[in-house]
Each structure stands twice: as structure tokens, then as C-alpha cells.
Amino acid sequence: MDEELFRELRHEIRSGLDVTSALENRELMKFIERTVFGRSSLQQLTALEKRTLVRRVFDSFRGLDILQPLVDNPSITEIMINSHKDIFIEENGQVSRLALQFESQTRLEDIIQMIVSGVNRVVNESSPIVDARLKDGSRVNIVLPPIALKGPTMTIRKFPESPMTMEDLVRRGALHEEAAVFLQKLVASKYNIFIGGGTGSGKTTFLNALSQYIPPDERVITIEDSAELQIVTVPNLVSLETRNANTEGRGEIAIRDLIRSSLRMRPNRIVVGEVRGSEALDMLQAMNTGHDGSLSTGHANSTRDMISRLETMVLSGADLPVAVVRQQISSLSTFLFTYLDCGIEHAE
């Protein structure tokens, strides 16, 4: 598509809009269609090309511009924007570079601000890193200059519309049927389960699958940096999400704050999407104070490394002797550590 033609058309449509009134999406789409199909200079385009042009112009006003078709494509699982001229995707397990680019760095920055404002978050030069999410639940990580040297960087991790079940994982060969039955019994018996693994190994997918074994009469509190979990089988569910500090450095709500607050919400189980630091101490204390059956995840290279890293994270939150921390972990007699690497490697 001719980028100059697209920019000219978008400018024409923007100039023709009534800035004093807000058009609904359907009305805006009809206005764009009338403009595109009625423009004499576009008569050489086919109906399909005109329809594609209409969609792109609409996405530039109300969607994510050139990213919208990528977000809508279910076979694409990751979108990586390294700069406004440098876009990669992961599709069917293969990473490739696209011949797409934003018209300018300013346009990419506009899209970023639209995304973060939609979830009440702030990202700017003074606070250049933020986690957010799209309306469909996709996870978004954003890093701005001067931290990102090539320009604004954004990574979008997409999730399936329907969470995978244990049956799906067994069918795909991620684990054996015997392991799935064993895990079902552990969840129903209120074992505390901690899932470790590398980036993209399937920790959140596996946690979602495990959650489907939670009895539906229990009350579950989920706690996350950016909401990703898809727990669909528990009616009595409360989902909590952290909040960044505002431009004045105030108002931050961290995972530790949410864990402490959740203890006063009468939970049967607490699910912490991922622990990365001192909140590990609060998570362990919650599991040790009558909230058996809790679930969480963390980054590590193996089961033993995950236990060691958990010790380190707890020590970052409190000045305790290592022996005390290890006693805190070992006192969880029903604590199953699983390590994922495209499936369960082993458990302890």
C-alpha cells in the first residue's frame, strides 16, 4: 500500500470529522467507507484493496494502527517492536521480521500512550518502563528512551481466547495423562504448588490449567503485576492488579500490599501470578497461615534453582537468617515445586 496515499487519505478524513462530537465506531467506519469508495483517485483499486484501506484507516483512529491486524491474527503469539521501523513477530513458533513500520516515532509513542492510559498506567522519560495489557488480555511491556537506545520498545505477548486445559496439554504431549491425574489430586487436596521455568516455557498456561481443578465452591484471590490469568471455573473469584506510582511518585500498590490485603478477604486460596522479589516472603507467610492450595510461578532454570532463588527473594524482603528462611519453606509440608521446559521436567 502506498504510504503517501494512506497518510493523505487519513488527513482528509480527519479534516472532515466534526471535532465537536464523538462518533461511535460504526459511524466512523461508515464515514471512512464513504470517503474511500467515493474517491475518484481510488477507482483503480479492487474492492478487497479498498476494504483493506478502510480497515487500516479505521485502525489508525480507533485501533492500534499497523499492529491491529497482528493482534487480531490468532496464529501470532508475540509482537516485538524494537523501534518504529523495526517490527518482529512470532508465528507458529517461528520469529520473523515484517516489512511494516510506523510512519514516525511520534506515531508509535501515541499508540503506547493510548495503551497505558487504557489501564490507568503512566510511562514517560522519568518512568520509562511499564507493564500493561490490551483489552483482549494480551500482556504488554514498554520501555522508552533514554533506556531504550533505538527508540520506544514494546513487546506484546498474546494469549489464546480460551485457556488451555489439562486435556489440551496431554493431547499436545506437554505431559503424560498420569501426571495430569496426579496433579488434579494435588490441587483438590490443597497442595501448595509453585511453578518454575524460563520465559515462554508455559508457566501461566500451566497455572491456568491447574486452576481448573480448584473446587468451584472455594473463594480465590488472584494477584498479578498485569492481569493475565484466565480462571474460568471459580465463581467466587477476586482479581487484584498492582498499580504504578503516579507522576509525583505516590500511589504505588505493590504485590506485597495486595498479598497482605488479600489475607483479610477471606480467601480459601491465593494465586500469585509471579513472584520476582520481596513479595515471596508474604506469599510464604500466607501459605503458612491456613491458605493451603495456593499457586504461584517464578523464573528459574531448574527446580533446585527455583528453591534457591526463592530463598534469595525472601531474603531481599527481610533480614532473616538463611536457616529461618529454609525452615519457612520446609514447613510447607504440602509444597510441590514443578519446573517447566515445554512440559514438566520433574517435581520435588
Q: Which three cell numbers stand for residue 24?
A: 461511535
**310 and 230 assigned to the same domain:** yes
- Cβ neighbors of 48 (< 8 A, separation 6 or more) are none
- Assign 3-class secondary structure to 145-165: CCCCCCCCEEEEECCCCCCCC
Out of 98, 131, 157, pick the residue that ends a domain.
Answer: 157
The whole domain housing 29 covers 3-62
Q: Is residue 346 part of a domain?
A: no
pLDDT of residue 345: 39
Q: What is the Cα–Cα distance from 304 to 261, expressed in whole angstroms?
A: 30
Residue 200, phi then psi, degrees to nearest 5 = 75, 10
- For residue 342, what pLDDT band results from cuts at 50, 70 and 90? very low
Please report the DSSP string for 278-294 in residue order: THHHHHHHHHTTT-TT-
Share of the chain above pLDDT 90, in %: 34
For 194-207, the pLDDT digits (tens) are 888 887 788 888 89
Which of 163-177, 238-252, 310-324 shows the lowest mean pLDDT across its residues? 238-252
Would you tell me how many other CB atoms lie within 10 Å of the CB of residue 12? 13
Is residue 113 domain-resident?
yes
Q: How confident is the model at residue 13 (pLDDT cuts 50, 70, 90)?
A: confident
Looking at 98, 126, 157, the residue that finishes a domain is 157
Q: Which of 58, 235, 64, 231 is nearest to 133 (CA)?
A: 64
The answer to whether residues 306 and 181 belong to one domain is: yes
Mark whether 291 and 330 lie in a shared domain: yes
pLDDT of residue 217: 94
Residue 188 located in a structural domain: yes
169-198 pLDDT, tens per residue?
899 888 889 989 999 999 999 988 888 888
54 in the same domain as 108? no
Which of residues 157, 186, 208 is at a domain's end? 157
- 293 and 180 fall within a common domain: yes
- 245 and 109, same domain (yes or no): no
Is residue 217 included in any domain, yes or no? Answer: yes
| 2 CB neighbour count, 10 Å cutoff | 9
**272 within some domain:** yes
* Residue pair 338/195 in contact by the 8 Å Cβ criterion: yes
Facing residues of 340 across strands?
197, 344
CATH of the domain at 192: 3.40.50.300
Give the chain's mean pLDDT: 85
What phi and psi values does residue 21 have, to the nearest 5 degrees?
-135, 150
How many structural domains compose the chain?
3
CATH of the domain at 76: 3.30.450.370
Same domain, 116 and 223: no
Looking at the structure, tell me whether residues 188 and 335 fall in a common domain.
yes
Under 8 Å between Cβ of 16 and 10:
no
Domain co-membership, 191 together with 296: yes
Angle at 273 between CA 144 and CA 281, to 5 degrees: 100
Q: How far apart are the first and last CA of the chain?
A: 56
Of 70, 146, 74, 147, nearest to 111 (Cα)?
70
In a domain, 141, yes or no: yes
